[in-house]
Amino acid sequence: MKEAAAGWRFMDFSKAYSELGVDAEGAIRTALGVPISVHCWQADDVQGFEVFEQAVQGGGILATGNYPGRARNLAEVRADLDQVLKLSPGPLRLNLHATYADTGGKPVARDQVGPEHFDSWIAWANHHSIGLDFNPTYFAHPLADSGFTLSSADPKVSAFWVRHGIASRHIAAHIAKGTDKGCTNNHWIPDGAKDHPVDRWGYRKRLADALDEVFAIPVAGSDDAVESKLFGLGSEDFVVGSFEFYSHYALTRKKLLCLDMGHFHPTESVADKLSALLLYHPELLLHVSRPMRWDSDHVVIFNDDLKALFEETVRGNALSKIRVALDFFDASINRLIAYTVGIRATRKAILWALLQPTAKLQELEAHGKLGEKLALLEELHTLPFGAAWDALCEEAGVPVGTSWIDQASEYGCKIQAERS
């Protein structure tokens, strides 16, 4: 550990945790080894920078709010991300959507977008020594207006989106080769119906067939994932790609399954799913989000749901079996602060879980000492976790405590406030 983290503050919390058999210094090192993939779309409210030959109305994902300073071009997105990297501890990656292609201001059909349109992103990532992940964009397009893309009954519509999915895999492979850090390529589609469809069978059969076509040819370097959802705006009654559909599809086709914390019923626990799914799936992709009564993609905070997610991960010795990515967007607050709060909260939850005396808790449970287990879990809340978090930030070379807020606000006043 750095000298700054080895003073009285480090020794104080280290002793408190060591009395419970926890190696606090080791927990910090482990927490700082988990990559977090940061989503590019918080910077510009999920607008993207796709150029159409004709104006396109709607069709996107709604980020509510009108806080000034939204990034208006790729250069501003990257400038904002440069600042985020300075304020966030631990290794990060950047998660891109296809609509953030660098086409030089020229319209490029989405089924024609290619690896060359992400070379500038690869150069940016290599400059920062971080990896890139990818997402085909199956929304915000005239051919998505019906509410169905890959599952569409119109063969021309489905074929277009199949070509886009295939193109995304070649882009992901190009990214993996260009960065030498791999590339997770996550497929989420918005397909669904507002009210009771009669032919659910047909939609799901078409989706499975279309995905099979997308994945038909092996593309080395594209590590493909599929993401489920319970419901959405315009798909309140029926989502084709449900959890049941994708959990089985991923298992039988040997794809990564993505669990988004906002894509389930509000009373469902994503944390509870890990111990069941990882008995059968070799890995999982987690989209860390915060629903507010529904999939509202609020900024992630250090709350019970987030802590439970990583407690279950650590208790199952499964940190090496999950990939952590963020997915939220809030246009009502300073976007740089939104990014940094979410990243730091996620890293904080990982550390929180690693600092628990898991072996001792499991031993108490195994011997039927459930009262003692409950009591110990309660006492953990008053251990000097804040000091451990400070030490992690010091070790990572990022601002400790609240000092980062002033830096983020200053950037907002100097840079973001000038954007009209």
Catalytic residue among 287, 307, 348, 373: 287
**263 in catalytic set:** yes
Q: Following DSSP, what letter does each residue of 45-98 receive, concatenated?
A: TT------SS-----S-------S----SHHHHHHHHHHHHHH--S-EEEEEEG
**127 in catalytic set:** no
**327 in catalytic set:** yes
Tokens representing 64? 């509510």
Catalytic residue among 25, 44, 223, 295: 295
**188 in catalytic set:** yes
pLDDT on residue 418: 83
Catalytic residue among 39, 187, 263, 348: 263
**174 in catalytic set:** no
Could you give the C-alpha distances from 151 to 4, 203, 303, in angstroms and in order?
56, 5, 36
pLDDT on residue 8: 47
Domains of the chain: residue spans and CATH: 3-418 (3.20.20.150)
Catalytic residue among 97, 141, 174, 229: 229
pLDDT on residue 3: 46
With left for phi above 0 and alpha for psi between -120 and 50, is residue 108 left, alpha or beta? beta
**227 in catalytic set:** yes
Strands 238-239 and 192-193: antiparallel
Low-confidence ranges of the chain (pLDDT < 50): 1-8
Catalytic residue among 260, 312, 390, 395: 260
**164 in catalytic set:** no
pLDDT on residue 10: 55
pLDDT on residue 1: 46
**365 in catalytic set:** no
**268 in catalytic set:** no
Catalytic residue among 41, 161, 188, 404: 188
Question: Alpha-carbon distance 365 to 357, whole Å?
Answer: 12
Question: Alpha-carbon distance 407 to 420, whole Å?
Answer: 21
Catalytic residue among 327, 390, 394, 395: 327
